[in-house]
Structure formats: C-alpha cells, structure tokens
Chains A and B, each alone.
Chain A
Amino acid sequence: MAKIATREAYGEALAELGEEIKDIVVLDADLSKSTKTTVFAKKFPERFFNVGIAEQNLMGTAAGLATCGKIPFASTFAVFACGRAFEQIRNSICYPNLNVKIAATHAGITVGEDGATHQSIEDIALMRSLPNMTVISPADAVETKKAVRAAAMLKGPVYLRLGRHPVETIFDDSYEFEVGKGVVLRDGKDVALIATGIMVGESLKAAEILARDGIEAMVVNIHTIKPIDEEVLLKAAECKAVVTAEEHSIIGGLGSAVAEVLIEKKPVLIKRVGIRDVFGMSGKPEELMKAYGITAEDIVNAAKSLILSYK
C-alpha cells in the first residue's frame, strides 16, 4: 500500500471541496507549500489568503470571515496554530462559536529533522480544553479526506490534526466517517488498543504481533477526540485492559480523554503510550518514534505488561 501523508490528502480534499462549496476560503501563514493549501491556492487564487508569518492575525481574520458566512480553513503548523495563536482561537473563534476550521499540519514528533520547536506534542490537550471545539485526528489519507469534508459540513470550530510524515493507508474509499463516532477496526477480548492519528496503523500492527502470542486485541480508532465516543470506549473497556496510543504528550491528549471517561463510567487498567512529558528532537521520523517509545512494539509491551498484572 502506498504511503501518503495526511497533509497531502488535506491539500487535495480542500481543492476538491472548493469546487463544490463556494463559501470555503483558505488562509495560510507562509507555509502553504508545506501545509499543501497551495493546491487550493492554485485553483482558487481569489479565495486564498496568505497572511504572512502572522498566526494571530491568521486566526482573527478567519474569525471575521466566518461572521460573514464564509467557511475559512486556516492552516499552519500545529505548534504555531495552537500555541502561538491559542488565545485568538479561544476568544475570537471558540467563544463566539464561529465556523472556522483550523487545519494544522506537522503535528507530533514525526515532523522529524526540524526538531522540538516545530514538533507539536500538546495541541490535542490545548484544543480539546476549549468549549465549542471539535477535535479530529485522522489516521490516514482516506480518513483525512472524509474528515475535511465532514469538518466543512459541521457548523462550528473544528481542529484538524494532520501530519507531515507519509503513513500507510488503512481505509478504502467505502469507509464511512462520522464525526464523534469511534471505529472498531478489529475485535478482541484480552486488551483494547485505543489509538488516534498515525498510531492507529501502529496499533493494527501491534494487534497482529499480539495475536501471534495468542492475545486477542481489540483495536479502536478514535479519530474524533472531542466529542469522544463514550459508547465505543465502554465497549472497549469490556476487555480487561486498555492501552491508548497517540503521537502526543500523555498529558491531556487521547490517553487522558479516554481515562476521563472510563474512570467515571467503567474503571479498567489503562496504560498510555505517548510522549512522556518531554520535548522532541531532530531525527528521522521512524527513529524518533522508537526513541520516544511510540511504535507498535511499545504498544505490544504495554499490552503484555497490563495482561500480566491482571492475570
């Protein structure tokens, strides 16, 4: 299967949707070649606005456009969107519940060589803490395309978390995407692997490895971290243990969101696979995933240690 980065799929989806939905306008902050909004820009130059290296103004301008009925997609790297412009997203977009889509690329450590300053590991935590915000983190190119469309159709602010690094395609075009609805990709009873973004592919690999040792792992794709699908989480918690997997800090991300639901409704042993409260560094994406302990193997180890502890 060909590997495609979710940012590539985003660029294509946006250009396709632009044809159909004339109210879509796209804003970028001098990273259009990297975020792939340049595909839209070439097709619809009059609806594309490069605001320069000015993320605060990026978000504020998008908010103003939304008050006039436009559907703005504002793109830059995740660390600048959610970090630099956090308060603009909070006060100018989420508080007035404006119809702005923040499509941020270069999330997580698989940004690679650019290093820690450009690797966003806290964006899910920041965005899901905001009332009115929907947070979507697609697993592959197919899911990204469907998520972009769904985001455009949804009224209100949406944060789309996209990656730079090419990842294997998991879904085919018949895949049905619904905001807020988790997807069970594999059934199992011994442990549930709950993942988001590029860690969904790693979890599927981990389930294969576990199967070889006779461990039946359920795999759940949580593409929408907010609002989170409680129903699917409760189903997953019927397994005796849960492992969460994300390319994000273990503080405030998917692991936290899952734990928040299960601790109140169905306490179960949980291990969180993610970045363990440290910053990233430069390196090749695959090497960084190993160095920070977010590979299929790390998910396998977490699952096994949990199973040992309940046996």
Chain B
Amino acid sequence: MLKKEELVHLQEMAKKIRCHIIEMIAEAGSGHPGGSLSCTDILVALYFHEMRIDPSNPNWQDRDRFVLSKGHAAPALYAVLAEKGYFPMEELKTLRKTGSMLQGHPDMKKTPGVDMTTGSLGQGLSAANGMAIAGKLDGKDYRVYVLLGDGELEEGQVWEAAMAAAHYKLDNLTAFVDHNGLQIDGSITDVMSPEIIEEKFKAFGWHVIDINGHDFEEIINAIEQAKKMKGKPTVIVANTVKGKGVPYMENQVDWHGKAPTKEQAQEALKALIG
C-alpha cells in the first residue's frame, strides 16, 4: 500500500508532467500529445517511486535502465527527466528545435538520462533484452524497464524479442504496454489488431499482469510483483486513455500527433490544473 502522502505526491507530479507535455508540444508546434499523456502515470511511478537512479550520474553502471520503445512519447520522458534534475527545466522549451538536446525522438547521445536511442517502433524491447542480459552476465542487480505502445506490437521485431526474453529467462526485465487502443490511422483493432495482448505474451512465455495504467496503486503493485517473479520476464499491460487528463484529447485519434494551438493549450492546462 502506498502512503497517502506519496500517492498525493505522485498524482501532483503527474499533473505537472502533463502540463509540461502540453506546453512543450504547443511551443514546438508539433509532437505527440495523445500517447505522451497516456503513459505519464507509468513514467512517474517508475522515476519518482521505483527506479534506482542518480540524476547527477546518468551513466552510473548499477542504475536501473528505462527504454522508451514508443519513442514518440519523448515529451513525457523529457518532462520526467527534467523534473528529476537530469537537465535544466528551461531545456523543455527547446523540444524539436534546431540544435536542441531534446530531439523529436529520444537520443541517448544528446540527452542525459536517456538510456537508449529509440523512435523507430519495434526496436526497444531488443535493446532492453541486451541490457538485461548484460546485467545477468555481470552479476548486477539492476532492473530494466521498457515501455511499448499497443500499436507498436504490430512490429514483428517485438515478437522476436519477446521470444528471446522468455528464452533467456530475463526476470530482471519488465515491459509495459501502454494499451490506449489507438494508433495513427485509427483504433488498433480496426487497423491491425494485436489483441489479445495478454494471451499473446502468455503464449510467448511471459508473466502477464493487467492493470489500470492510471492508478498508481496498481502500477506499483504490478512492479513489485514483477520483481518477485523468478525465471520469467513480466509484461504489465496498462490499460490507459489516450490523451488522458485533457478532456478534448481523450480517446481522440486526431491527437496522436498534433500540437495544440495556444488557445487549446490554455484550455488543456486549465483542465489539468483543475
């Protein structure tokens, strides 16, 4: 059970992150608000509750790793990293601008705290596998987290990697699926259904947990369960709402990859702050 104060702290942080996301994307004039807002609570739970990290030493060898396989949710990751102190908050305004350390998709060579370069969908789980294997080889106890989109599961490489993670018994690896049900061209079940996601991972030899991806209690319990699981990787299928927290964006496929105008951003911020 989370202590009440911590729960409030996480909820407040999530609100802040969502505000940053809206401001950053509005300022950039492009970006992906829908999928950034849907995975915000997962990132907040990882970075502000769970992960063993040291923002003053981003390359610390014993740190827990995080791979944002759905790299287009970069604004959510950048906002979290800035709030953790990996780089100054002012950098957030430079998202997607020429010369910025904050590229449109995560770049481990440019941004402190980014553990893997991603953005081309389907590649993050393989990299996370490599990190988890390295941890086992070196007898280190760090954990590796990776966040995938549900539409991303349509990429074949995800399943190559899913097969391998179970084969190598990577119990130091936990994957999240941000199951918001939408991809650029529409509903995932209309475009190319990856369902039933839980059954597929189970068949690939994973330990599967199904949660509400906006409930910190559930997210953190699932992470705890995953840490106890031996001999198997765990996938946490997080049921989420695309555009979560901004009423006019919620469950609207149009907000996958579109920036709000100044007025729309103001409206979003008002709704978020409440």
Residues of A with Cβ closer than 8 Å to B? 25, 46-47, 49, 51-52, 54, 56-57, 59-70, 72, 87-88, 91-92, 95-97
Q: Given A61-B127, A64-B130, answer yes or no on A87-B161 (Cβ-Cβ < 8 Å).
A: no
- Give bound CA distance, A72 to B127, whole Å: 12
Given A60-B127, A65-B133, 5 more pairs with CB closer than 8 A: A49-B168, A60-B130, A65-B130, A67-B130, A92-B116
Q: Nearest Cβ in chain A — how far from B198, in angstroms? A: 22
CB atoms of B117 and A64 under 8 A apart: no
User: Which residue of A is nearest B67, CB measured?
Assistant: A64
- Give bound CA distance, A60 to B156, whole Å: 13
8 interchain pairs, CB-CB under 8 A: A54-B157, A57-B126, A57-B160, A64-B67, A67-B65, A67-B131, A88-B126, A96-B116
Q: Given A96-B107, A96-B109, answer yes or no on A66-B160 (Cβ-Cβ < 8 Å).
A: no
- Interface range, B side: 35 or more
CB atoms of A92 and B119 under 8 A apart: no
CB atoms of B120 and A56 under 8 A apart: no
CB atoms of A52 and B161 under 8 A apart: no
Residues of A within 8 A of B67 (CB): 64
Residues of B within 8 A of A52 (CB): 160, 163-164, 167
Residues of A within 8 A of B127 (CB): 60-61, 63-64, 67, 92
A contact patch SS: helix
Looking at B7-15, B18-26, B134-142, B247-255, the stretch in contact with chain A turns out to be B134-142
Shortest 9 CB-CB contacts between residues of A and residues of B? A64-B130, A60-B126, A68-B134, A57-B160, A64-B127, A54-B160, A96-B117, A65-B130, A56-B157
Q: Is B180 an interface residue (CB 8 A)?
A: no
- Give bound CA distance, A52 to B204, whole Å: 15
With most chain B CB atoms within 10 A of its CB, the pick from A47, A68, A69, A96 is A68
CB atoms of B160 and A64 under 8 A apart: no
Residues of B within 8 A of A97 (CB): 109
- Give bound CA distance, A67 to B129, whole Å: 11
- Give bound CA distance, A91 to B119, whole Å: 8
